[in-house]
Amino acid sequence: MNRKEQSFFNFEAAPCAVLHYSEIGLKGRNRPIFVDRLRHQLEKTTRPFGTGRVQKLPGRLLLGLGEEVDWPEVCEALTRVFGLAYFARALRVPLDLDFVCEAALKMIAPQHISTFRVRTRKGFESVPISTREWNTIIGGQIQARRHLPVNLEMPQTTVTVEALPDEAIVYSERVPGPGGLPVGTSGRVAAMLSGGIDSPVAAYRMLKRGCEVVFVHFHGAPYVSRASAEKALDLAGILDGYQLGSRIYLVPFGNLQKEIVLSTAPTSRVVLYRRFMARITDRIATLENAKAIVTGESLGQVASQTLSNLIAIDEAVDTSILRPLLGMDKEEIVSEAKAIGTYEISIEPDQDCCSLFVPGRPAVRSASTHLRKLESAMKVERMVEQTLEESAVLEIRRGKRPQAKYLSEVFSLENSSASCEAESIGSDNSKSVR
Ligand code: ATP
Ligand code: MG
């Protein structure tokens, strides 16, 4: 037996997942930063499944999979890693036709296949093989050993061989990734998360474009039920699946609203609420080193979202307010919410704090001068400060919703036995809040 025959006899292809990125490929000299971040997110995502390290290969990443790894579980987790264009469970072998043929046969062994084709692709022009020749030879071997018909136009299964300088990656089932950019490559934002349909979609879009997202929810305690806050926690839990490690600020807004109500006519109230929400979120953004505020507003969707009202809200803070859904129709937002799995939670009944003490027909054209005049009769800074001090911050880890004892306390329910992860931003932290 010569050396090759010997090693072939001991042949064991290494099980792995090949991971392809798309848009990152366009980042020029910044590309390594994006690839490193993607690798970081992938390792964080897959660690609990007993997978190996993520290795950088030219133009792609490779995740080591032991024989014990539950692929459907890993596969499901990978569909939430932004930056991935597609991925596949694969076998990694030396760049040698015999090894590749064996790997291809092993790869498709458990599959029921009606027709197939082989597609060999070179990672680099300089890889010393003929892809056409490899396709024919590998295809011939599969035909001979599995008696399967080839279909070049519409095959049920495509066996792909990625030929790299020293090795080949072989796979047969390609899974689409979520696209976008790796979380953490675009900075951090503070997203205002209501219990509604729109704001989770807005936060999702920011995550998809590479932002880390800190969530901020305003609840109407003590004047409404805790339903909206519970929903916000559930929604943040789903969105955390994309970044793995989130914070949500729960801000009691009822008393501040009461102060607004006592000094202003009903028509201006919603925009005033939003200006205060923006100010408080701005303070949280500073605390969290977030560079912008995000909302789920869409132009003209409701009276508080006309162009002049959105501008009036912008004017309350210096920080930029980003509105990723600005140009979307409600129906488009709804189908995205269904696709990401937030819709069912969002449509559960609740009472948002913004619906407190507001008229059926709020003003559609708010002038900033008028709003500023109304606010000059209030102690704006003190109201913001006090509300912040009564807020709490909860940690969400790996999509696991925290038990909110805090909610039981502020909504005066009896069940206060739940374990509490809320940390009140009270006097202890008030220095950093200010
Ligand atoms: P929907 O429009 O589906 O009822 P929504 O969350 O968009 O839900 P809107 O009344 O349209 O609710 O509010 C506009 C935006 O203001 C929201 O997308 C959200 O970013 C912010 N917002 C409203 N209410 C709250 C709240 N209680 N907590 C945090 N953010 C809120
Ligand atoms: Mg809305």
- What is the atom index within ligand 1 of the atom nearest the CA of 191? 20
Which of 113, 143, 176 is the C-terminal boundary of a domain? 176
Whether residue 90 has pLDDT greater than 70: yes
121 located within any domain? yes
Least trusted range by pLDDT, from 215-224, 272-281, 314-323: 215-224
**Does 108 share its domain with 53?**
yes
239 located within any domain? yes
Burial of 114 (0-12, 13-18, 19+ CB in 10 A): exposed
Instruction: State the Cα–Cα distance between residues 286 and 144, nearest whole angstrom.
Output: 66
Q: How far apart, in Å, are the Cα atoms of 344 and each of 128, 220, 334, 336?
A: 53, 22, 10, 12
Strands 157-163 and 116-122: parallel
Contacts of 382 (CB under 8 A, 6+ apart): none
Query: Which residue's CA lies nearest to atom 22 of ligand 1?
Result: 194
Could you tell me if the CB of 313 is within 6 A of ligand 1?
no
Per-residue pLDDT at 221: 81
Could you tell me if the CB of 193 is within 6 A of ligand 1?
yes
Whether residue 392 has pLDDT greater than 90: yes
Which of 192, 226, 335 has most ligand 1 atoms within 8 Å of its beta carbon, as the pocket-test mutant?
192
Per-residue pLDDT at 420: 32
Beta-bridge mates of residue 84: 21
* pLDDT-based confidence at residue 406 (cuts at 50, 70, 90): confident
* pLDDT-based confidence at residue 393 (cuts at 50, 70, 90): very high
280 located within any domain? yes
DSSP state of 403: P
Please tell me the distance between residue 192's alpha carbon and the centre of ligand 2 in angstroms: 11
Query: Which residue's CA lies nearest to atom 7 of ligand 1?
Result: 198
**Does 163 share its domain with 205?**
no
Per-residue pLDDT at 402: 75
**Does 316 share its domain with 359?**
yes
**Does 172 share its domain with 245?**
no
Could you tell me if the CB of 200 is within 6 A of ligand 1?
no
**CATH number, residue 159:** 3.30.2130.30
Could you tell me if the CB of 302 is within 6 A of ligand 1?
yes
327 located within any domain? yes
Count of domains in the chain?
2
Among candidate residues 298, 229, 261, the one with its CA nearest the CA of residue 374: 261
**Does 218 share its domain with 84?**
no
Please tell me the distance between residue 72's alpha carbon and the centre of ligand 1 in angstroms: 35
Instruction: State the Cα–Cα distance between residues 120 and 130, nearest whole angstrom.
Output: 9
Per-residue pLDDT at 422: 37
Per-residue pLDDT at 2: 57
**Does 278 share its domain with 332?**
yes
**Does 36 share its domain with 147?**
yes
183 located within any domain? no
Tokens of 146: 């599995």
The count of C-alpha atoms lying within 13 angstroms of the C-alpha of 377, restricted to the half-sphere facing its C-beta, is 12
Among candidate residues 430, 415, 419, 414, the one with its CA nearest the CA of residue 395: 419
Please tell me the distance between residue 281's alpha carbon and the centre of ligand 1 in angstroms: 13
Which of 189, 193, 197, 198 has most ligand 1 atoms within 8 Å of its beta carbon, as the pocket-test mutant?
198
Instruction: State the Cα–Cα distance between residues 372 and 259, nearest whole angstrom.
Output: 15
Query: Which residue's CA lies nearest to atom 6 of ligand 1?
Result: 196
Higher pLDDT, 422 or 260: 260
Range of the domain at 332: 188-433
Mind listing the pLDDT tens digit for each residue in 355-370? 766 666 777 787 788 8
Which of 155, 176, 197 is the C-terminal boundary of a domain? 176
94 located within any domain? yes
**Does 283 share its domain with 369?**
yes
Which of 189, 197, 199 has most ligand 1 atoms within 8 Å of its beta carbon, as the pocket-test mutant?
199
Q: Is residue 21 a contact partner of residue 30, using CB atoms and an 8 Å limit?
A: no
**Does 139 share its domain with 246?**
no
Could you tell me if the CB of 295 is within 6 A of ligand 1?
yes
User: pTM, whole model, 2 decimals?
Assistant: 0.90
**Does 228 share its domain with 164?**
no
Among candidate residues 239, 176, 228, 231, the one with its CA nearest the CA of residue 202: 239
**Does 237 share its domain with 105?**
no
Could you tell me if the CB of 353 is within 6 A of ligand 1?
yes
Per-residue pLDDT at 25: 64
Please tell me the distance between residue 323's alpha carbon and the centre of ligand 2 in angstroms: 11
Could you tell me if the CB of 296 is within 6 A of ligand 1?
yes
Which of 189, 192, 193, 194 has most ligand 1 atoms within 8 Å of its beta carbon, as the pocket-test mutant?
194
Please tell me the distance between residue 165's alpha carbon and the centre of ligand 2 in angstroms: 52
Q: How far apart, in Å, are the Cα atoms of 251 and each of 298, 344, 389, 393?
A: 23, 24, 9, 9
Could you tell me if the CB of 325 is within 6 A of ligand 1?
no
**Does 80 share its domain with 144?**
yes
Whether residue 278 has pLDDT greater than 80: yes
Mind listing the pLDDT tens digit for each residue in 222-243? 787 788 899 999 999 999 999 9
- What is the atom index within ligand 1 of the atom nearest the CA of 302? 11
Per-residue pLDDT at 365: 81
SS3 189: strand
Mind listing the pLDDT tens digit for each residue in 113-137? 899 999 999 988 889 899 999 999 9
Please tell me the distance between residue 97's alpha carbon and the centre of ligand 2 in angstroms: 57
Could you tell me if the CB of 167 is within 6 A of ligand 1?
no
Per-residue pLDDT at 26: 66
252 located within any domain? yes
Could you tell me if the CB of 299 is within 6 A of ligand 1?
no
**CATH number, residue 328:** 3.40.50.620
Could you tell me if the CB of 285 is within 6 A of ligand 1?
no
366 located within any domain? yes
Q: In percent, how much of the chain has pLDDT > 70? A: 89
Which of 152, 176, 200 is the C-terminal boundary of a domain? 176
Instruction: State the Cα–Cα distance between residues 366 and 374, nearest whole angstrom.
Output: 12
